[in-house]
Structure 1
Amino acid sequence: MPNSHPAAADGARPPQGPPAPDLEPVTGGTGGNPVPAEGRSTRPHPTPTSTPAALEAHLQVAHPHFRLDITLTAAPGDVVALLGPNGAGKTTALRALAGLTPLTDGHLRLDGTDLTRTPPENRPVGVVFQDYLLFPHLTALDNVAFGPRCQGASKAESRARATEWLTRMGLADHMTARPRRLSGGQAQRVALARALATNPRLLLLDEPLAALDARTRLDVRAELRRHLAEFEAVAVLVTHDPLDAMVLADRLVVVEHGEVVQEGSPSDIARHPRTDYIARLVGLNLYKGRADGHTVRLDSGPTITTTEMLSGPVFVAFPPSAVTLFRDPPTGSSARNHWRCEVAGLETHGDQIRADLTGELPLAADLTTVAAAELDLHPGSVVWATVKATQTHAYPA
């Protein structure tokens, strides 16, 4: 895994003077065997086509105050996003896949090969770290050529492959630039090119857009999605940003407290959240209760009327935009659901005001600044919240 470095195993940056790509070739790369330069194409291929990529991993890592225990599987071409709050175990999982954190138990198989005890440098894995970890004294070209050079490719072939990848990334005019002369988006693309230049069978991306400003993030996200769509092996993305996950990944794996709490397609996760964390991510009010026909008695006491006719344990969700607020008990509203609440807080949410409400049913409500002013909302205000049954969504728990 040429994109890693022994110093990176404990979170440190690589030293300022790694072997430059024009030194003698070294043994390394996949399986630890030299890769002969003769007869190899200089055209970059995201993955070899002889063996289909497949990831099968059961990652168990035990720390004194934390335990990771998750299972991951991925088919060729899959982009899987590990999503979860800080401290959930996402980065530990990524480091375990890279070999930087040893497994306490479990296994890791890639393309049918057991990599559980394989050292990081011998794994067919490319990594794009959160802050990219580009070698500061090397040009963009030599940063990308470093990986193939470590795999045993000649200086000429390594640079030819690096040139191809940087051109594909739209960086043909920046090959001689050192990292300090690159913008955040350019540095991110150099790091991605460096990871892909080694033809990895598993690509790991640790918060790849976190270091970018909002405008650059928008552009680079679109570019990254295009490159991942072309990647034929397995890619695993770690992020806490739901938009990055929804846009970049084919499948989401939500991790909380070291365990998988939900997984599925982005649309399924957004439609059927199963924890408060996921509901907040996708912007929904979520409750759990027991259904009897169209009525759901929540665990916290109140009831919600829904259009779905169900029986037994269920979740009920609705967006903050479905909530209408009144200062007095509503008399002409057609909404079947209404609760007496108190404003706990107000904050700007895009071009609207989000009200945090407590009382009979804790919930979030979105309203315009004009509506908030007309209602004279402030912390401590008593309001009535209504939601139409047609705007709720109930599904089995």
Structure 2
Amino acid sequence: MDDRDRRAVAGRKAAPAAEAVAAVGAAVTAEAVDEGLDARLVVERGAFRLDVRLRVAPGEVVALLGPNGAGKTTALRALAGLTGLTGGRLLLDGAALDGLPPEARPVGVVFQDYLLFPHLSALDNVAFGPRCQGVSKARARARAAEWLLRLGLADHAGTKPRRLSGGQAQRVALARALATRPRLLLLDEPLAALDARTRLEVRAQLRRHLAEFEAVAVLVTHDPLDAMVLADRLVVVEDGRVVQEGAPSDIARHPRSDYIARLVGLNLYRGESDGHVVRLDAGPSLTTTEVLTGPVFVAFPPSAVTLHRDRPTGTSARNLWRCEVAGLETHRDQIRADLSGELPLAADLTTAAAAELDLHPGAEVWAAVKATQTHAYPV
């Protein structure tokens, strides 16, 4: 989103915007309908088609998660009114937003790189939104001061954006979005511009502020940790469609696509189960502790894999495959081995273990996994 997007969302035409927002509120009151977001976002651009259904209750934080090009940003722009819908519908608190310009929507946006006005102080950046809604200068500045105080930035009210730290700029951007009293808060990769150390602190602060937000919040990110920490529910989008949604813990335990499995750090396979044995689509069989029949997924973490240069004897592992090291990389404080062969998989081991095994690309190894460390669940 660029500077024009920022101005469009904040509101360029104060009077029409205020009238439109009031009309939306009146419609909601008159119809006495359910609150929250009820949307089906259909956007077609050339060969790409986005078709995403979103239902979000007030007070709920939903994260749109997916790889680059999945359609997350397109969905966010459609919610903000910056991209028109090809089809579907967009209801907020029972009122249709379809066709309303960005400045007429009760929507606040926190942009990826914040897009603060460089010539305005933190206070005036926050007051900009209310001013565009027709609020007097004095009242807008008073509301802005209140939000800066709530976000711990009262001492920086007169500071220009260039003199703010990354974390401070992020909180000013959040205050600016909240000062318009939105019924829908959109956050576009809100932590992406921060360094790792600042990100940890700001993530915790943002989670606290989102927990206090009483309306609908939709977060767009490709970072699984941001999504897991900040959101109550995840909606995973791939190639313009929803492939899985649910609580973070459920998705982490039951991934249903290779992208999600990689995201949460699991080896994932699909196959046909008959009792404890699963015949994988990839070829070999795998033994699990669950007793299932029919199509299943089987998952296990890379840490569950043990590697041996020679075929092990006397091991209690029920699953054993001959593999070849395709690549090695540092993963946190361990070495992650990318293995090809009978069953492609990832294995984590210590640096000392990798050195003792003399692992290198092309090295032949045996990979073993105990049945008790696998998890099978129906497709």
TM-score, L = length of structure 2: 0.94
> What residue in structure 1 maps to residue 342 of structure 2?
360
Q: Deviation of residue 29 (structure 1)? A: 4.0
- Look up the match of 1:351: 333
What SS does structure 2 have at the residue aligned with 1:58?
strand
Distance in 1, matches of 2:119 and 2:142, equals 20
**Corresponding residue number in structure 2 for 1:32:** 20
Amino acid in structure 2 at the alignment position of 1:215: R
Unaligned runs of 5+ in 2: 24-31
- 1:286 paired with 2:268, answer yes
- Find the counterpart in structure 2 of residue 254 from structure 1: 236
Amino acid at match of 2:15: T
Q: Does the C-alpha gap of structure 1 residues 51 and 174 become closer, same or farther in structure 2, counting only changes over 3 Å?
A: farther
For residues 45-85 of structure 1, the C-alpha deviation after alignment (integer angstroms, 9 at most, x for no partner) is xxxxx997410000000001211001000111110000000
Alignment of 1:271 with 2:273, yes or no, is: no
SS at match of 1:215: helix
1:8-53 Cα offsets, whole Å, 9 max, x none, are 2xxxx769xx99xxxxx94144543689xxxxxxxxxxxxxx9974
Residue 79 of structure 2 is aligned to residue 116 of structure 1: no
Distance 1:278 1:31, change over 3 A: farther
Counterpart pick for 1:96 among 54, 66, 78:
78
**Which of these residues, 269, 291, 309, is aligned with residue 309 of structure 1?**
291
Q: Deviations over 1:154-208 (max 9, x none)?
A: 1111010000000111101100011111111111000000000010000000000
Matches within 5 A, 1:223-234: 223-234=205-216
Q: 1:237, CA displacement in angstroms? A: 0.1
Whether the aligned pair in 2 keeps the contact of 1:323 and 1:365 (CA below 8 Å) is yes
Name 1:47's counterpart in structure 2. Answer: none
Give, in whole Å, the separation in 2 of the partners of 1:6 and 1:305. Answer: 56
Which one has the bigger helix percentage? 2
The match for 1:7 is 4
**Are 1:54 and 2:36 matched, yes or no?**
yes
Once residues 134 and 54 of structure 1 are traced to their aligned partners in structure 2, the CA distance between those partners, rounded to angstroms, is 28
- 293 and 343 in structure 1: CA distance in 2 versus 1, 3 angstrom threshold: same
Q: Which amino acid aligns with 1:142?
A: D
2:149 to 153, 164, 167: 167
How many Å apart are 1:152 and its aligned residue?
1.1
TM-score by length of 1: 0.90
The SS at the match of 1:103 is coil
Deviation string, structure 1 residues 316-355 (Cα, Å, up to 9, x no partner): 0000000000000010210000000000000000110000
Contact 1:339 1:361 in 2 (8 A): yes
Question: Quick check: 1:384 aligned with 2:366?
Answer: yes
1:334 aligns with 2:310: no
Check conservation: 1:34, 1:151, Cα contact below 8 A: no
Q: Describe the shift of the 1:84–1:225 C-alpha distance in structure 2 as closer, same or farther (beyond 3 A).
A: same
Deviations 1:193-226 (A, max 9, x none): 0000010000000000000000000000000000
Find the aligned partners of 1:34 and 1:314 in 2 and give their Cα distance. Answer: 51
Q: Which amino acid aligns with 2:376?
A: A
Aligned residues: 369
> Identity percentage over the alignment?
77
Contact 2:21–2:105 (CA under 8 A) maintained in structure 1: no
CA distance in 1, matches of 2:14, 2:202: 33
2:378 is aligned with 1:393 = no
Contact 1:27 1:33 in 2 (8 A): no
Q: How far apart, in 2, do the equivalents of 1:83 and 1:344 lie?
A: 28
Amino acid corresponding to residue 104 of structure 1 in structure 2: T
**SS of the counterpart of 1:118?**
coil
**1:386 positional shift:** 0.2
Q: SS at 1:394's partner residue?
A: strand
Name the amino acid aligned to 2:158: T
Runs of 4+ in 1 over 2 A off after TM superposition: 28-35, 50-53
Question: Which residue is equivalent to 1:218?
Answer: 200
| Alpha-carbon shift at residue 301 of structure 1 (Å) | 1.1
